[in-house]
Structure 1
Amino acid sequence: MTLAATDALPIATAPAISAPRVRDLRLDFFRGIAMFIILMAHTPGNFFTSWIPARWGFSDATEIFVFCSGMASAIAFGGTFDRMGWRLGTARVAFRVWQVYWAHLGLFIAVAALLAAFDYYGGFDKNYIGSLNLWKFFNDPAVPLIGLVTLSYVPNYFDILPMYMVVLAMMPIIMALSRVNLWAVAAFVFVVWLGAQEWLWGSARLSLPAEPWSDRRWFFNPFGWQLVFFTGFAFMRGWLPKPPVHSLLIALAVFILVANIPLSSIGVRAIARDWFYVTETGNWVIDTRIAIKPLINKSDFGLFRYLHFLSLAYLAWVLAGDKGARLIASGQGALARAWQGVVAVILKVGQQSLAVFVVSMFTARVMGFVMDQIGRDTFNVWVVNIGGALILVATAYGAGWFKSQPWRKKVN
C-alpha cells in the first residue's frame, strides 16, 4: 500500500488530509449501480444474475457497495473528526451504527413476517420460511430472538448490515492511528485482514459467531471486508494518491479482468465443462479454481477478490473521467437528455443507499414470490425486474424528500 504521506498531523489541524467537501459523482453513480445489481442478485430464480459482475470475475456488487461506503464515510464522518475532534467524531459514527442496527432489525422482522404470511395464508407448495433457513427462529424463537438483538444470530441473507456496523465501529481506531502515522493505519488494516483468513488460522481466525447453536460464523467476515472499506476511505481522505491514467495500467487491469473469466463461475460452467479444457489427466480450470479457493474466498475477502475489484474500479474510474465528468453527456439532443435523466436517477439511488438497500432486500423476496406465481419466462422476468427497479427509484426519491424535511419550509 503506497501512502500519500508517511506522517499524519493531528486530525484537527491537517488540511492536507481533510475530506473533500464536493461529492464525487462517481461515488453515487457506482453505488447506485450496485444497488440495482444487489436487487437482482437476491431475487430467487432471476436469470438477470447471469450478467452481474460476480458471474464474470471474483468480485461482485458487494465490493462496490462496501468500497463506495468507505468513500462516503470519509466524507460524512471524516469531516466531523476534522472539525469537531475525535470524541464527537466517534459519537457521530456511533449514531450511524445505531441507525444501521435498527435498520437491520427492521429488515429481518419485515422479511420474516413476509415469508410467514406467504406460508400461512398462501397454501403454496413451496415453503418460504425454509427458503431462508429460518426454521429455528419460528420453531423456538426465544434463543434466536436474543441472538438477533445481540447480533449473535445472523442468518446468511441478513449479514451485510451487521458487517457494515462492525467496520464502521473500527473507524475511530483508524482515525486515532492516523494521528500517529499513516503507516500505522496501513499496518492495522493489513494485520486485521490477515488475522481473518481461515486458510492461515483455521477456526482461530478473527470472526464472529452467526448462531448460538452451532459453530457457523458470519458469512461476511467484517475483519476481512474492512480492507476494501478502508481502501475507499483512504482514497477519499487523500491518504492514498489517485492512480495515474496510464496505458500500461489500463492494459494490466484489462488483462486481470479477462484472465479472471475462465476461472469465474460462468467460466467454470461454460468453458471447463463444455469446451476443450477437459483432458485425460483432469480439468485444469476446475482444478485451478479449487487450488486458489482461499484467495477468492468471499467470507474472509480473499486477496484475488481484492485484486480483481481494484482492476475493475480502476477501469471504471478512468472511463468515468475526472470527478465523473464523462458520466454527464454534453449536448441538448434527445439521447443526451435521456442519458442525463438516467444518470440523475442512478445518482439519487446511490445517495440514499441505506434506505434503498433495506427496501431492495425486502423487494427481492416479493419479486421471487411473484415469479413463482406467474412463471419465469423472459417477458415475466423483465417485467418483474423493471418493477423492482422502479420501487428502488421511488424509495430513493421518497427518502430524499423526507430527509429534506419539507414541513420545515416556510409557506408564503
Structure 2
Amino acid sequence: MVTTSPEREQARAASHAVPDRTLRDPRLDFFRGIAMFIILFAHTPGNFFTSWIPARWGFSDATEIFVFCSGMASAIAFGKTYDRSGWRLGTGRVIYRVWQVYWAHIGLFFTIAMLMAALNIYGDFDKNYVGSLNLWKFFADPGPQLVGLFTLTYVPNYFDILPMYLVILAMMPVVMALSYVSLWQTAAGVAVVWLFAQSALLEWLGVGHLAINFPAEPWSDREWFFNPFGWQLIFFTGFAFMRGWIPAPPVKGWLIAVAAVIVLTNIPLSNIGVREFGFDWAREWRIENRSWFNKSDFGILRYVHFLALAYLAWAAAGVQGARLIATGDGMLERWWDRIVRVVMKVGQQSLAVFVFSMVFARILGVALDVAGRSTLNTTLANFVGIAALIVVAYTVAWFKGQPWRPKARPS
C-alpha cells in the first residue's frame, strides 16, 4: 500500500486546489443539451436532418460531446465526494450511479421491445418493427436472450450507449485510486487501456488476440458497437479537465488557428465532402484508413477532431461561458437568454432526456411512416421531438426539486 510520496501529495493537492464546482457550468449543460437534440435527430428513422448533423462534417459527432461532457459532469458530481468523504464512499456513490444507469438500460430495452411488438400485433403496417431493430432472436427465443440482456452479453446495436457508459463509470474508482499515486500513472493507465481497444492496430501488430471488448450476442462473434475501453479516453479527458489534472488551455490566436485548420481539413474527408463535393479520392481514403476514425473503438482521428472542436467551442463561449449568457435588455438578447437556459435545462437532465429520446425517436419514426417523409412532415416531427425533450427536462427537474416537501422556516 502506498503511504506518502511527493507525487501523491501533489495529486491530492491538485484535486483539492480545484475551486468549488458544485455550481453547474453553463458551458457543460449547454453543449450537452445540444448533444441531446442531435442524438434525437440521429435516432429518428428516415430523418433527413441526420444528413446535416455535425457527424457528417468530420470524424467526431454528438456521441463525443455526450461522453466528454459526461466525464466533466462526473468530475463535478463524484469528484467532490471523493475529496470530501474519501475513496470508499466516493466509490459507493459511483456504484449507485452505475446501478441507476443499468436499470435505465433494462427499462429502455423492454419499453422499446414492447412498443415494437405492439406495433406488429395491433398496427396495420407493412413494416415489421421488430425486425427494424433486429430483435428477431429475442422474440424467437427469449430465455437465453433474457439472461444475456441482464448480464450485458446481449446488447443490440440500438441499445449500446448506456452499457458503454456504465462500464466507463465503473472504471472511475480505479482511475481515482491511480490519481492518488501519480497523475502520470493515471494518464498512462487510461492510454494503455485505449490502446488495447484498438483491434485493427493490434491485428496489424500481429497481436489481435489481445484486443479487449465485450461480446454483444451469444450466437455470433459480434462485439459491443461502442467499445467502452476505447471510449473511456474521451470520458476521462473531460474528467481530467474538470478535476484540474489537465490545465485549462489558454485562448490564443495561434491555437484557435490550429484548431480551425484541423476542423476545416476534416471536411473534404467527411461524409459531406464525399456526398456534396464529390471528393472520390476521399471515399477511397476513408475505406483504406477506416481504423483511424473507427467509431466502435474510438479511433485517434476522432479524438483529435473532437479536441479541436471542443477548443473552438471553449474559446467562443468565453470565461465561465460568459458569451453564452446574454447581458443586454434588447429583445434579441432576451430571446437568446431564454433559448440558452432551455438548452441548459435539457443538458442538466441528460440521462432522463436520453432515455426518453431513444423511445420517442421510434415513435416519431412510426408517425413518419404513416404521414410520409415529406420535408414539411419531417421538419414538424423534429420540432415536436425538440419540444418533447424540453418538456421532459423541465418535468424531471420539477420532480427532483421535490416541491411537495415543506420549506424550512427561518429560525
Measured against the shorter chain, the TM-score band is: over 0.9
Partner residue in 1 for 2:349 = 352
How far did residue 104 of structure 1 move?
Answer: 0.3
The letter for the 1-side match of 2:187 is: A
Aligned-residue offset at 1:49: 0.9
Aligned residue in 2 for 1:331: 328
Equivalent residues in 2 for 1:299-318, closer than 5 Å: 299-318=296-315
Deviations along 1:99-158, one digit per CA (max 9) or x if unpaired, are 000000000000111111111111210111111100000111001110000101000000
Distance 1:334 1:270 in 2: 37
Q: Is the 8 A contact 1:11 1:85 kept in 2?
A: no
Instruction: Report the Cα offset of residue 17 of structure 1.
Output: 4.3
Q: Matched residue pairs, number?
A: 398
Q: Structure 1 residues 81 and 173, CA, compared in 2 at 3 Å: closer, same or farther?
A: same
Match of 2:40 in 1: 39
* Aligned with 1:266 (options 263, 272, 275): 272
Which of 196, 216, 227 is the aligned partner of 2:222?
A: 216
Partner of 2:323: helix, strand, or coil? Answer: helix
Q: Which residue of 2 aligns with 1:384?
A: 381
Task: Tell me the C-alpha RMSD between the 2 structures.
Answer: 1.6
**What's 2:73 paired with?**
72
Amino acid corresponding to residue 70 of structure 1 in structure 2: G
Whole-angstrom CA distance in 2 between matches of 1:400 and 1:251: 39
What pairs with 1:89-108 in structure 2 (closer than 5 Å)?
89-108=90-109
Distance of 1:377 and 1:361 partners within structure 2: 22
1:406 to 388, 403, 406: 403
Give the Å deviation of 1:335.
1.2
2: CA distance between counterparts of 1:143 and 1:338? 53
Q: Is the 8 A contact 2:12 2:180 kept in 1?
A: no
Superposed CA offset, 1:239-284 (max 9, x none): 0011111111111111111111111112122233xxxx5xxxxx42
Runs of 4+ in 1 over 3 A off after TM superposition: 10-14
CA distance in 2, matches of 1:131, 1:306: 31
Distance 1:122 1:66 in 2: 37
- Pick from 295, 304, 309 the counterpart of residue 292 of structure 2: 295
* 1:369 equivalent in alignment to 2:366: yes
C-alpha separation in 1, matches of 2:20 and 2:220: 43
Please tell me the residue identity of whatever aligns with 1:354: L
Matched-pair contact (CA < 8 Å) for 2:11–2:183: no
Distance 1:232 1:296 in 2: 20
> Could you tell me whether the CA contact under 8 Å between 2:11 and 2:181 is conserved in 1?
no
Q: Pairwise mapping of residues 4-403 of structure 1 onto structure 2 (< 5 A)?
A: 7-9=7-9, 14-17=15-18, 20-201=21-202, 202-272=208-278, 277=279, 283-403=280-400
Q: Cα distance, 1:214 vs. partner?
A: 1.0
Q: Is the 8 A contact 2:29 2:347 kept in 1?
A: yes
Q: What residue identity is the alignment partner of 1:225? A: W
Q: Which runs of 5+ in 2 are unaligned?
A: 1-5, 203-207
Contact preservation (8 Å) 1:20, 1:237: no
1:167–1:223 Cα contact (<8 Å) kept: yes
**Helix, strand or coil: the match of 1:9?**
helix
CA 1:203–1:54 in 2, change beyond 3 Å: closer, same or farther? farther
Seen in structure 2, the aligned counterparts of structure 1 residues 170 and 19 have a Cα distance that, compared at 3 Å, is farther
State the distance in 2 between where 1:359 and 1:94 align. 23
- The answer for unaligned runs of 5 or more in structure 1 is 1-5, 278-282
Matched residue type, 1:76: A
Residue pair 1:224, 1:300 contacting (<8 A) in 2 also = yes
Secondary structure in 2 matching 1:342: helix
Listed one character per residue, the Cα deviations across residues 285-317 of structure 1 (whole Å, up to 9, x for unaligned) are 222112321110000000000000000000011
Cα gap change, 1:396/1:186 in structure 2, threshold over 3 Å: closer, same or farther?
same
Structure 1 distance, partners of 2:265, 2:116, is: 41
Query: Partners in 1 of 2:291 and 2:118 — Cα distance?
Result: 40
Distance across 1 between alignment mates of 2:314 and 2:216? 36
Contact 1:77 1:92 survives alignment (8 Å): yes
1:280 is matched with which residue? Answer: none
Q: Which moved more, 1:287-296 or 1:174-183?
A: 287-296
Relative to the length of structure 2, the TM-score reads: 0.94
Contact 1:349 1:356 in 2 (8 A): yes
Q: Which amino acid aligns with 1:394?
A: V
Structure 2 Cα separation of the partners of residues 18 and 326 of structure 1: 21
- Secondary structure of the residue aligned to 1:271 is coil
Cα distance between partner residues in 2 of 1:354 and 1:395: 11
SS at match of 2:240: helix
Alpha carbons 1:41, 1:49 under 8 Å: kept: yes
